[in-house]
A and B are shown apart, each in its own frame.
Chain A
Amino acid sequence: MAERITLNLKVNGEARTVNVHPFARLLDVLREELRLTGTKEGCGEGECGACTVLLDDQVVNSCLVPAVQAQGCAITTVEGLARGEDLSSLQAAFVAHNGAQCGFCTPGMLIAATDLLNRCPDPTDGEIREGLAGNLCRCTGYAKILDAVHTAATDGGAPR
């Protein structure tokens, strides 16, 4: 059995240290060790995007990342988007457009859309569709989510 490692992360801007199995999934480290349960597990095979987080400013499926590969990295989860009660412009746009229904895909959608707006502050419809292509939603039919991202982009581009 592998020895646990001391994993140093910067999670939502804050230095965090946890003792974990090196092959533990980043998803489980976030949810179970750090109690950041905003990040969801959907398919567990990198297809649905519910577990999407930013790892050193790149979107990844946290269900496919072993903890040891996140050593020393900066991670942004959905908990890192709002400042207290103050929603990011993207989150506010999701609320305004009813871009969430059951809400299970929403954390991944928000992270993927945040990444998109960071890279591409004024995206076309095609760019939004490509930016969110790895995130599945079984409720909204996507139109409201696309509207929310358009609105957030128009209201000031990258949320934070």
Chain B
Amino acid sequence: MRGYLPDCDIRVPADLADALALLAAEPGVWTPFAGGTDLMVVYNAGRLKATHFLDLSRLAELRGIREEATHLVFGALTTYTEIRDCRAVHQHFPNLVKSARATGALAIQNRGTLGGNIVNASPAADTPPSLLAYGAELELVSPRGLRRVAYDCFHLGYKRLDLAADELVASLRMPKPTGRSFHYFRKVGTRQAQAISKVCLAAHARIEAGVVAELRIGLGSVAPVPQRARHAEAAIIGKPLSALPIAAAQAALLDDISPIDDIRASAHFRLVVTQNVLGHMLRELANG
């Protein structure tokens, strides 16, 4: 049974300041609404608690991908299709393009937004692993001003975010990789389109003189939040490509993840597959 339409309201703010003023004036009343690809699903299923929505979709301040000298800056309303179509994203952040292609299918990719994927806070979302791998930073706005938060600190627990009631995610900044880079993205789902991940892993490494100088691994669907694999990273950072301790990293991964049984996969499946995908990633890294 669908949600009850007469209970619902959706407000279209004139601009970002207007949207922020409404959020601040009635904290917790208005749920930000962008592409609707998550909220409408829950509404259609009759399980959405929220009834009052703030339509952000026409706010020009939150749109577009901007290239700076050292970063790409993504407006929160950037759609998966815009990510797929942007040459600079292909050049600097190929994992993010793969994340966008792996999310839903075209009709979802045309509507769903990066900001929405983040604040919906599903541990199974497919852009967060890439955002973690690339060291993304969020810009949050409120009438009190602008605040920056490292994305790997933004998820506090299952569906709990470092985001106040009067704040919106305005944009996301990612530093362009420099030097010799390695990129890896792998989603394991039931099929290539329209599947929710059973396991998702994205990684980015910087190689210096044959040694792994930097490595970030982002994981989806194996913890209550999109998760950095810090223990596995630590096992690899500083090691030469010719002698990566793959088994040690796979063992260390056990301290990074806490998979559960659900309708899509068992905890055991997720654990074994995450270790296998990590192994595959590290062998590709070693083979340069």
Contacts and interface: CB of A to CB of B under 8 A. Distances in A.
Q: Do A and B come from one complex?
A: yes
Interface of A: 1-2, 21-25, 44-47, 49, 52, 58-61, 63-66, 68-69, 112, 115, 130-131, 133-135
**Interface core residue of B9, B36, B192 (most chain A CB under 10 Å):** B36
Contact of A133 (B9, B44, B105): B105
Interface residues of B, number: 30
B117 to A, nearest CB: 14
Contacts of B258: none
Contact of A69 (B6, B55, B107): B55
A23 B33 CA distance: 11
Given A2-B8, A21-B5, A23-B53, A66 B104 contact: no
A6 to B, nearest CB: 13
A69 B110 contact: no
Contacts of A24: 5
Contacts of A21: 5-6, 8
B193 A130 contact: yes
A68 B10 CA distance: 8
A65 B36 contact: yes
Interface in B70-106: 81, 104-106
B2 A52 contact: no
A63 B44 contact: yes
11 contacts: A25-B40, A45-B44, A46-B108, A59-B107, A59-B110, A61-B37, A61-B108, A64-B41, A65-B36, A66-B36, A133-B105
B12 A134 contact: no
A131 B5 contact: no
